[in-house]
Structure 1
Amino acid sequence: MKQRTGALLVLASAVAFGVMPIFGKLSFEAGVGVATLLFVRFAIATPVLWAAVAVKRAVPRDRGPVLRALALGAVGYAMQAGLYFLALERMDASVLSLILYSYPALVTGAAIILRRESASRRRLVALVTASGGLVLVLAGAGVGSLDLAGCALGAGAALTYTTYILVSDGVTKALDPIPLAALVSTGALVTLGTVAASMGALDFGFDPVGWLWLGLAALVSTVAAVVLFFSGMSRVGPSTAAILSTLEPPVTVALVFVTFGEALGAVQLLGALAVIGAAIIVNLPSRVKTV
């Protein structure tokens, strides 16, 4: 029962994360700018996460991990979110989702280079599979319809998230998940708010419906997604949670088709399967043999 509940929570989290690009695109259609979207998203999510911390009575006390978590949010997560939504403004959400989801293989590759993990056959297969899948996803879009700047921003988001995960390894062991999420969100809010205000980029003159999409991005795809994932992972373990999270890209692809009519071509679908398959291979328990 515990395993089933945990699996359902992780799957619900994947759906909540997967719908984020939809809320982002709909926000853009309502006239919301990237800087405003990022600021409002974290301005809503941060106090809600701190309320959850208060309810759980899990206020962190150790100054060192707290400062590192704030820095992770202020630098790593703020940069990743900024690059992601700048890319989303320029390109199809489905393709961007698959570019970003190359991060499990990127993390594995970086861990091998840094000698944190061994270069096993399974991990090398995952790296090659993910790389080939991304080539198919991008090539299938066609040269004329492919926004190179958007792809570069998406790749930057994936690389930034990879770095964020590698750097945050020690912090995640020192803090409970919900306080960690609240601290990271706080750091991101401070950075994104400061940058947007200094550039005069905050503009709240968008269509009223934009507040609906911003609220959903903050509450569904940020707060709920994080809480559901960590709650599920505590029941099923990190490897199973990571495998179940591969539902996220298919959710995005399906919802993008239903909402905007954007569909992947046959070659891109093959590439998508390769990217998702690589993520599963990377996260398979070590006792499972692969060929």
Structure 2
Amino acid sequence: MPAFGIAFCLLSAAGFGAMGIFGKLAYDEGATVGTLLSVRFAWAALLFWVIVALTGRLRTLRLVPRRDVLLSLGLGAFGYAAQAGAYFAALDRLDASLLSLLLYTFPVMVALAAAALGRERLTRRVVAALAAACVGGVFVLGGAPSGALDPLGTALGLTAAIVYSAYILTSSGVSARLDPLLLSALVATGAAFTLTVAGVLTGDLQPGAVSLGGYGWLAAIAVVSTVGAITLFFAGLGRVGPTTASIVSTFEPVTAIGLAAAVFGESLSVAQLGGAGLVLSAVMVLGVGRRAPAPAISDLPVLEPGEIRHVKRASAPA
């Protein structure tokens, strides 16, 4: 039923939108960036493999070409690990509301890159959306109070959006061949390996410094904002199709802004709110323009973050 599909997409967007708030709360309880990343993906990978096993998908793994298995692991180990690393490093320096808006420029980046690569035409709709997103981004950044805009944090947030865009475009091939939950399990496993090794080598993996409450927030990131949000998104996608799912997913940064205001007292200026409206409008214009039929199992978006993201037969990150 479409109503249930919309509800699932809204819950998914809310789960993704809450990730920055959970991360901030985990930092307050002793979690470092390295600890958060390692624990998040290790727990998420474990939960994904449990779901894969319980749904009977595990037996299909042996039928997947080794090349696709290695590619999926590599996407997690390098692409998604880099995006998540940049995002949570930025979260340590920026307000969660501002970071959510910086990250949410990625749908426009993907549309522009897809046109540049010849995958889509650079239509007036895409140009208008790009212009609105750029103007909105200027208002979002320029409207920040003096001293509130950390340069390195801003650069990391934009880097996360750029890396995520590249991830989506790179993963579109394998995502069309693999079951979404199986792909998510492989991506999460690759990311968990890389981020755990990086945390050990840099000395930033400090699980003993995290309080019991901190582990609760880390669990919320893994269960609610990763596995739960991704699973709900796929459930909604199958009921309403990629166009509606893309539009409904713009609720994600709205959730982040609302929760950040309620929990941390963060607020956006009038100029920033106007800019946020332009960015979200650009994303909605891109979604409305894609009149795709209801997707088959291979018509996937990408998991995360932040994360939809439907570019022709795009995929979903873990």
TM-score bracket, normalised by the shorter chain, equals over 0.9
Structure 1 residue 97 and structure 2 residue 100: aligned?
A: yes
Q: CA-to-partner distance for each residue in 1:176-231, whole Å, 9 max, x for gaps?
A: 11111111100100100111112222112222210110011110001100101111
**Higher RCO (Cα < 8 Å, 6 or more apart):** 1
What is the rounded CA distance, in whole Å, between the counterparts of 1:119 and 1:202 in structure 2?
A: 44
Gaps of 5+ in 1: none
Residue identity opposite 1:9 in structure 2 = F
SS at match of 2:249: helix
What is the rounded CA distance, in whole Å, between the counterparts of 1:111 and 1:192 in structure 2?
A: 29
SS at match of 1:284: helix
What is the rounded CA distance, in whole Å, between the counterparts of 2:16 and 2:256 in structure 1?
A: 9
The corresponding residue for 2:126 is 123
What is the rounded CA distance, in whole Å, between the counterparts of 1:106 and 1:220 in structure 2?
A: 27
Q: CA-to-partner distance for each residue in 1:111-151, whole Å, 9 max, x for gaps?
A: 11111110111111010111111110000003432101100
What is the rounded CA distance, in whole Å, between the counterparts of 1:285 and 1:221 in structure 2?
A: 28
Q: CA-to-partner distance for each residue in 1:224-275, whole Å, 9 max, x for gaps?
A: 0010111111221112111110000000000000000001110000000011
| Identity value in percent | 47
Shift of 1:28: 0.7
Shift of 1:286: 4.3
The corresponding residue for 1:209 is 213
The corresponding residue for 1:138 is 141
The corresponding residue for 2:251 is 247
Structure 1 residue 9 and structure 2 residue 8: aligned?
A: yes
The corresponding residue for 1:265 is 269
What is the rounded CA distance, in whole Å, between the counterparts of 2:229 and 2:194 in structure 1?
A: 22
Give the paired residue count.
287
What is the rounded CA distance, in whole Å, between the counterparts of 2:236 and 2:249 in structure 1?
A: 11
SS at match of 2:118: coil
SS at match of 1:168: helix
SS at match of 2:250: helix
What is the rounded CA distance, in whole Å, between the counterparts of 2:148 and 2:13 in structure 1?
A: 28
Does structure 1 retain, via aligned residues, the 8 Å contact 2:243–2:291?
Answer: no
What is the rounded CA distance, in whole Å, between the counterparts of 1:54 and 1:285 in structure 2?
A: 37
What is the rounded CA distance, in whole Å, between the counterparts of 2:195 and 2:290 in structure 1?
A: 39
The corresponding residue for 2:315 is none
Q: Give the one of 94, 111, 114 matched to 1:111.
A: 114
Does structure 1 retain, via aligned residues, the 8 Å contact 2:125–2:289?
Answer: no
Residue identity opposite 1:284 in structure 2 = V
> What's the TM-score, normalizing by structure 2?
0.88
SS at match of 1:262: coil
The corresponding residue for 1:58 is 57
Shift of 1:7: 1.2
Q: CA-to-partner distance for each residue in 1:54-79, whole Å, 9 max, x for gaps?
A: 11111332122221111110111000
Gaps of 5+ in 2: 293-318
Compared CA separation, residues 20 and 6, structure 1 to 2 (3 A): same
The corresponding residue for 1:279 is 283
The structure whose residues are more often helix, as a share, is 1
The corresponding residue for 2:297 is none
Q: Give the one of 54, 65, 70 matched to 1:67.
A: 70
The corresponding residue for 2:235 is 231
Residue identity opposite 2:245 in structure 1 = A
Residue identity opposite 2:236 in structure 1 = G
Alignment RMSD: 1.2
What is the rounded CA distance, in whole Å, between the counterparts of 1:258 and 1:200 in structure 2?
A: 34
> What's the TM-score, normalizing by structure 1?
0.96
